[in-house]
Chains A and B, each alone.
Chain A
Amino acid sequence: MSDFLRALTRGSGWLGLIGLLLIALLLLVAAFGPFFDLPDPTRTNLRARMVAPTLSWVGFGAHPLGTDQLGRDILSRIVAGSRVTLVVAGAAVVLGGIVGTLLGLIAGYFGGWLDRLLMRLADIQLAVPLMLLALMVIAALGPSLQNLVMVLALVSWVRYARIVRGQVLAVREREFVQSARAIGASSARIILRHILPNVLTPAIVVATLELARVIVLEAGLSFLGLGVQPPFASWGRMLAEGRTYIASAWWIITFPGIALMLTVLAVNLLGDWLRDYLDPRLQVR
């Protein structure tokens, strides 16, 4: 841990540090947002429609970032949206990560027909365009939050599976795994105790980069109306709603757009840095 922090704070780690700080900010906002005395993000106020941003908290009914076409406060919607984004993206990454890693472990360790089956499955899925897949699932199952998470997880498991499988193939032949077989350890034990800890680092790198991708995907799906449904706020939805008012009320689309961009940038910065940091350690001495 101290190595990790030391590497972040010196030299070329500054980009990763920025990423980490921005993400920390996001987490703080998402966690403590409701405690601030912000207007209800879903409460419409048709008398205060499309109020321009004042950038201050002062004054009656102050709206620092303005209101949207239904009079809802943009700032509180952004804060609320951040929670949705984090929860959805986080859940999707965790779900996709667990499923993908598990399947990668099984495919890599056991090989044979199981491996071939899983890899063909992965290939088939990669061949289907993302949006089409999402459309099919949501159309069939309905646009709920759970289904959204499921779709996003479905879309990303393949990346984990591929990387983990590759690493498993390399680790499987190492002498300490042979030694575990020689003492009669069960396959489950070998996979969980010996192989998994040694393939985890690349999986983590994939997870951080997938997080960025999933956030963008969620925004895209919400933009198309397939993701988070009203009245819940989601940055993607806000982008979609704000589209028509670009000329008249630019703030409706701009601020959520900036929030989205900063978040994805932060996750990418951290993910890239993490990959470089972990890379030499992937060569276990």
Chain B
Amino acid sequence: MTPPLLQVRDLRRTYRARGGLFGGGLVTRAVDGVSFDVMPGETLGLVGESGSGKSTTGRLVMGLEQPDAGQVVFDGTELTSLSATAKRPFRRRMQIVFQDPYAALNPRMRVGDFVEEPLVVHGLGGDAAARHDAVAALFRTVGLDPAFMRRYPHEFSGGQRQRIGIARAIALRPDFLVADEPITALDVSIQAQIVNLFQDLQESMGLALLFIAHDLSMVRYLCTRVAVMLKGRIVEAGPVGAVFEDARHPYTQALLSAVPIPDPARERGRRRLPFDAGAFEFQPDDALRDIGGGHLVLQGDPR
């Protein structure tokens, strides 16, 4: 059995807002005990709505924020307790692509230099000429003309900027990529292009992908396994087919019933399942329990 590439165990992160003039501070449990594995080369989808903690989880996995508790084990090494210098070699193997293509690029830096930067920071790619060729190859890989290397971000469209962000993320040939809502900000006709790009990269580079999104249909298409998050915890996880066709947790069921289907005949007759996220509370004995075939559901003790 191949060991998982990434193991996340009981990750927690709480935000404390300072109290205002009249009241106490607000404590938000952004990530409240999240655990999952990612196998080499697989795509795990992490879905949830706003406030579910999915983006925070991505950042914790990448080490952009320190968790309050829990472990992130990458290829056997526990990362959260390492110093910044010790983490550096792992930076080469895990990378991240962000949601907002307009904020993800340095507006004052030529895009070629921006994509080259990971190589420069880690002293890879040989001399300047060799690096230039490497960057040109990366541009071609993501479907951009290398002649654009000398341009600035504002000269590109959203979809092109996202490609540039992806080029930078794969420059170091990582084993694992966190994609934080990479297509949400893009036009529908461009989303398919980017998803296909991810697919191609996975096939050619053997990348494992943590695909954070709220677009369930895209997750269903692209991912092999999926985890559904609500209020900082995973409420259901498992193979995509099992979770989507046989959802057990009421939240997952409500979520699925709410996704609009582009088919008038089916869509008109649908009933949406209600779910009051505000009133929902986790019970003390809730845990992720395996109901068969790797399909996990958060529920109380069945006995």
Contact = CB atoms under 8 A, between A and B. Distances in A.
A175 B117 contact: no
Interchain residue pairs A-B with the least CB separation, the first 10: A184-B91, A197-B108, A175-B104, A175-B98, A183-B118, A284-B107, A184-B88, A175-B103, A176-B106, A185-B121
A189 B95 CA distance: 18
A181 interface: yes
Given A182-B62, A184-B91, A198 B106 contact: yes
Contacts of B107: 198, 284-285
Interface in A179-211: 179-186, 189, 193-194, 197-198
Given A175-B98, A175-B100, A184-B87, A194 B106 contact: yes
B117 A185 contact: yes
Interface string B155-188: 0000000000100110010000000000000000
A178 B117 contact: no
Given A175-B98, A179-B168, A189 B121 contact: yes
Interface in B57-114: 59, 62-64, 87-88, 91-92, 95-96, 98-100, 102-109, 114
Given A175-B98, A178-B98, A182-B91, A197 B109 contact: yes
A183 B117 contact: yes
Most buried by A among B118, B169, B172: B118
A45 B62 CA distance: 78
Contact of B98 (A179, A183, A197, A284): A179
B272 interface: no
Main SS class of interface, A: helix
B108 A174 contact: no
Interface core residue of A178, A183, A189 (most chain B CB under 10 Å): A183
A17 B108 CA distance: 27
A221 B240 CA distance: 76
Given A176-B106, A193-B109, A194-B106, A182 B154 contact: no
Contact of B122 (A179, A181, A184, A193): A184
Contacts of A186: 121
Contacts of A178: 59, 64, 96, 98
B103 A183 contact: no
Nearest to A198: B108
A194 B121 CA distance: 13
A181 B165 CA distance: 14
A181 B98 CA distance: 13
B117 A176 contact: no
Interface of B: 59, 62-64, 87-88, 91-92, 95-96, 98-100, 102-109, 114, 117-118, 121-122, 154, 165, 168-169, 172
26 contacts: A174-B103, A175-B99, A175-B100, A176-B106, A176-B114, A178-B64, A179-B96, A179-B98, A179-B165, A181-B64, A182-B63, A182-B91, A182-B95, A183-B91, A183-B95, A183-B122, A184-B91, A189-B121, A194-B106, A197-B106, A197-B108, A198-B107, A198-B108, A284-B107, A284-B154, A285-B154
A236 to B, nearest CB: 39
Interface in A239-262: none
A182 B172 contact: no
A174 B59 CA distance: 14
A278 to B, nearest CB: 13
A189 to B, nearest CB: 7
A186 B120 CA distance: 12
B63, B117, B122 — most chain A CB neighbours (10 Å)? B117
Given A178-B64, A185-B121, A198-B108, 9 more contacts: A182-B63, A183-B121, A184-B87, A184-B121, A184-B122, A186-B121, A194-B109, A285-B107, A285-B154
Contacts of B122: 183-184
Contacts of B92: 184
Contacts of A185: 117, 121
B148 to A, nearest CB: 18
A175 B161 CA distance: 13
A176 B106 CA distance: 6
A24 to B, nearest CB: 28
Contacts of B88: 184
Contacts of B169: 179
Contacts of A198: 106-108
Contacts of B98: 175, 178-179
A182 B59 CA distance: 10
B122 to A, nearest CB: 7
Contacts of A183: 91, 95, 117-118, 121-122, 168, 172
